[in-house]
């Protein structure tokens, strides 16, 4: 049961996930969380670094969809200037929205990676839907109030994985 929370990889940030790594793994699509994965949860717009990362993915013909449990305004304001498909109120970890993005991308499940900073939403949802999952270290240590409970549970689960040798701390995406 706990293995549903186990990511395939654990990296410092999205910037450790390169097009070269994804292509080596046969991945052609990314479903990526917004808050504390792409930018801090309280930052409205993409940074230059995020814009460049998205451009590298698009240049490599890797499809990207921004995928968030946050509200429509938050996700739209962030995603529309980037001309990147997005899903708001995704209800992670439920599988339904993951499957819809899979269909929209017109890729096989084994060609898509889910990247996020939370075990209880991003990784659990991605694993339940049958995708390759990558856990990133949260960009900032502060969280929206709703996320604080999840973080406490995550620490317990991550420490279990570390102790059992099922997960190593902060690998890079190119390893």
Location of structure tokens 């973080």: 151
Element (H or E) spanning 161, and its range? helix 145-164
| C-alpha of 7 from chain center | 11
Domains of the chain are: 2-164 (3.40.50.1000)
Give pLDDT tens digits for 61-78.
Answer: 999 999 999 999 999 999
- Indicate the pLDDT class of residue 83, thresholds 50, 70 and 90: very high
**Average pLDDT value for residue range 36-53:** 94
Q: Which among 90, 111, 151 is positioned nearest to 30, based on CA atoms?
A: 111
Q: According to the model, what pLDDT value does residue 153 have? A: 86
Give residues with Cβ within 8 angstroms of 31, minimum separation 6.
65, 67, 98, 101, 112, 113, 114, 115, 126, 131
Q: According to the model, what pLDDT value does residue 172 have? A: 44
Kindly report the pTM of this predicted structure: 0.91
User: How far is 115 from 136, CA to CA, in rounded Å?
Assistant: 7
Q: According to the model, what pLDDT value does residue 168 have? A: 75
User: How far is 136 from 37, CA to CA, in rounded Å?
Assistant: 7
Whether 122 has a pLDDT exceeding 50, the answer reads yes
Determine phi and psi for 27, rounding to 5 degrees: -95, 135
* 134 beta partners: 9, 115
């Amino acid at each position: 049961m706990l293995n549903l929370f186990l990511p395939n990889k654990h990296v410092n940030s999205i910037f450790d996930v390169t097009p070269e790594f994804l292509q080596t793994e046969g991945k052609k699509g990314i479903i990526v969380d917004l808050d504390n994965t792409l930018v801090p949860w309280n930052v409205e717009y993409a940074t230059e670094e995020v814009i460049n990362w998205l451009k590298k993915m698009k240049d490599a013909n890797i499809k990207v969809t921004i995928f968030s449990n946050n509200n429509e305004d938050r996700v739209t304001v962030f995603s529309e200037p980037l001309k990147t498909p997005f899903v708001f109120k995704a209800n992670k970890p439920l599988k339904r929205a993951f499957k819809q993005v899979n269909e929209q991308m017109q890729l096989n499940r084994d060609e898509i990676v889910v990247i996020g900073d939370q075990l209880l939403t991003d990784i659990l949802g991605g694993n339940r839907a049958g995708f390759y999952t990558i856990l990133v270290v949260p960009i900032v240590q502060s969280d929206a109030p709703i996320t604080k409970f999840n973080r406490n549970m995550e620490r317990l689960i991550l420490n279990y994985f570390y102790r059992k040798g099922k997960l190593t701390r902060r690998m890079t995406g190119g390893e």
